Amino acid sequence: MQVRLSGKWTEHLQGEEKSKFIELILMDREVLGRLYSIIEDFENSVDQADLSIDEYDSPAFPYLKAHRNGERSILRKIKSLLSHIKE
């Protein structure tokens, strides 16, 4: 089974160091899988907060929306680093 791992994990390494590091990442599947689940929980929280009707009454609504979009964006980036977990 060939696993696709984001190059961000190893862009700072070369040669044998890179191979060993990839091995470590792949061996930590359980821990990284749990991290992936936690990130999904955070994403769900952000999504739920976006569905709150009460927020439309807030004078800071545009800022709240921008903040949540930023949260969602970074959570997706982190999840992309862990995409090998779901393969």
Does 85 or 87 have the greater pLDDT score?
A: 85
Residue type at 62 in one-letter notation: P
Q: Which helix (H) or strand (E) holds 26?
A: helix 15-27
Structure letter (DSSP) for residue 84: G
Residue ranges of the domains in the chain?
7-86
In order of 16, 21, 29, 32, 38, the CA distances from 51 in angstroms are 48, 41, 33, 29, 20
Q: Is the pLDDT of residue 63 over 80?
A: yes
Q: Is the pLDDT of residue 1 over 70?
A: no
User: Helix or strand or coil: residue 51?
Assistant: coil
